[in-house]
Chain A
Amino acid sequence: MSAEGDPTAESLQEAIHSRFMGAEERMLAAIADGDAAAFTELYDRLGSTVFGVVRRLIRDEGFAQDVVQEVFTDVWRNASRFDPTAASARSWVMVVAHRRAVDRIRREQASRDRDERTAVRNTTVLGNDQSGDDAVEHLHLEIERRRVKAALVGLTGNQREAIELAYFGGLTHVEVAAYLNVPLGTVKSRIRDGMTQLRHVLGVEQP
C-alpha cells in the first residue's frame, strides 16, 4: 500500500502508537526489538494471568506449563505484529493463551470421553475455590480482580454459568447447551447478554 516507505506517515503513526500505549504495550514494542529485559517485565506482569487461565483449562500441571511456555514463545516471536490501536497488550496475549489452551484440550478431547472431561472441570470463579488462595504479587492485579468478580456477581446466575463454562471450561456453546441441557439459542443469548453487560460494567470501550 501507499503507506509503505512514507516516512512522515510512519512517524505520525508512531506518534499515535506511543500516545496510546501503556506500560505493557510499551513492553511489547520493546520485545519486538528483541529486548529480553522487557520480556521479563511483561512476563512478571502477565504471567500469573496467563498461568491462571491455562491452568483452569488444562488440569495437568505439566501440560499447562508447556502451554504457558508456548504462549510466551509466541509473544516473544510475534510481538512486532501487535497493534496498540487495536487491542491492549493483555487482551492480545490472552487471545493467544486462551486459544492455545483450548486447542490443546480439544485435540485431547478427540481421544477421550467428553462427559468425563466436562464433569471434572471446575469453572466457578466466584466462591471459595483456589483462585483466591494464591498470593498475587501485584496490587493492581488484585484490585482488578476484585472489580471483575464484582462485575460477575452482577450477572444472572445463568449468564455467569454459561460464560464461565465457555471461557474457563473451554466448551463451545454447543457443548455448554448439551451440558446444561438447554436449547442452543438460550446459551447464545446468555453468553451474549452477559458479555454485553460485562462490557458496560467494566467500562470496556475502544478508546
Chain B
Amino acid sequence: MTDSLHDLAPLYALDALEPHEAAEFEAHLATCAPCQQELRDSREVAGLLAVAVARTPPPALRDRIIASAAASAAERRAPAGVASVGSDGPAPSPAMAADSAERIDADAAIPVTAAPSAEPAGVTVLRPHRWTDSWSPARSLGVAAAVVLALVIGGASIASRSSDPDPVDTAAAEAVLRDPGAVTYSLTGPNGSTGRVVWSHQRGEAVLLSDSLADAGPGRTYQVWFIDGGAPVPGPVVGADGSTPFAVPASALPATVAITIEPAGGSVRPSAEPVLAGSA
C-alpha cells in the first residue's frame, strides 16, 4: 500500500479502518510514539464528538445497570472462598458475568511496554543543591530557592538508576505533585513529544515529567530554561540520564518553560531549538 501507517491514527480512533488495516496499524503503533500520541488526541476528539449527540437514557436502563453493579459489588465483598459464591450469596448478574472473550480494553492497542507512564520506576529526582553565583542570570528572577526536578524517562532510566550515586528523592517530587496550589506547564515538542512541569511556588520546587526524552547523547545534557518576555534564563542542567544535580531559582512563575539539549555543563544561552516548551 502506498499510504503511510503514520496517517491512520485518526481513522483508527473513529473505528473506521478495515480489519486488516486496523491490525497493521496496531502492530505499527507498538513502536511509534508519535502515532500513540496522535491516537490519544484523536480519541479525545472522538469522545468530544460523542458529547454532541448525548441523549438522556431511559431511567429503567439506569436502574438495571446500577443494580447489576451493586450485585457484583456485593459479590466482591463476600468472604473469599467457595461458600461465598454458593446459594447464600447474591445471584451473579448475567450482565456482570465475565465475558472475557468479548472484553474490549481501550488501552489494548497501546502496549504497556511502549507506554512509559506505566513505568513509575523511570523516575529520577534530582536533589536540590545550594544556589551558586555561577547561575548569575537567574538572579533576575528574584529570590532564589532550590528546585527539584524529577525527570521521568520511561523505562530507559530504570537500569541506570541502580548505579545512580544520588538516592532518588521521590518524596520531594511527591510533595510537589501533591501541592494543590502547584501550577502545571504543558510542554510540547516536535514529533508529538510532550512533558509537564509541575511548579509548587509554595515549596519553591518543580518537577519535570516527560516520557519523551531519550538519552541526550554523549557529551550532551538536557537543560531547563525560564522565559519571561526577555532572554531565556538558564535553569538546571539535567543529565542525559537525569542524574546530574543542579540548583535553580524559583520565584515568580515564568511564563514559559523550555527544555533544550546543550553541551555537557549547560549553556548561558540556548544553543538549539527546544525539544519541549510550553506555558502554564
Contacts and interface: CB of A to CB of B under 8 A. Distances in A.
Give the interface size bracket for B toward A. 35 or more
Contact of B178 (A3, A9, A15): A15
Q: Of B10, B37, B49, B118, which is in contact with the most chain A CB atoms at under 10 Å from its CB?
A: B49
A21 to B, nearest CB: 11
A15 B177 contact: yes
Contact of A86 (B15, B69, B110, B178): B110
A175 to B, nearest CB: 9
B55 A199 contact: no
A206 B70 CA distance: 34
A163 B14 contact: yes
Contacts of A94: 43, 46-47, 50
Given A39-B69, A172-B17, A191-B14, A73 B96 contact: yes
A2 B113 CA distance: 12
28 contacts: A2-B121, A2-B159, A6-B121, A8-B170, A12-B170, A15-B173, A18-B177, A47-B61, A47-B65, A48-B57, A52-B50, A52-B53, A68-B57, A76-B72, A81-B105, A86-B110, A92-B107, A95-B47, A95-B104, A135-B56, A141-B54, A148-B52, A173-B16, A192-B7, A192-B10, A204-B44, A204-B45, A206-B41
A198 B48 CA distance: 10
Given A39-B73, A70-B95, A86-B117, 5 more contacts: A19-B184, A77-B96, A87-B107, A94-B46, A198-B49
B117 A48 contact: no
Interface string B64-86: 11101110110011000000000
A54 B86 CA distance: 36
B183 to A, nearest CB: 11
Nearest to A76: B69
A170 B15 contact: yes
Contacts of B106: 81-82, 87, 91-93, 95-96
A11 B122 CA distance: 13
B42 A149 contact: no
A90 B61 contact: no
Given A10-B120, A11-B174, A12-B174, A137 B46 contact: no
A98 B11 CA distance: 13
Among A43, A87, A170, A206, find the residue whose CB has the most chain B CB atoms closer than 10 A.
Answer: A206
A77 B105 CA distance: 11
Contacts of A199: 41-42, 44-45
A12 B120 contact: yes
Contact of A125 (B42, B45, B53): B53
A68 B65 contact: yes
10 smallest A-B Cβ distances: which pairs?
A13-B120, A195-B10, A51-B57, A3-B121, A95-B106, A85-B117, A166-B16, A9-B120, A15-B177, A91-B47
B121 A1 contact: yes
A9 B56 contact: no
A1 B112 CA distance: 11
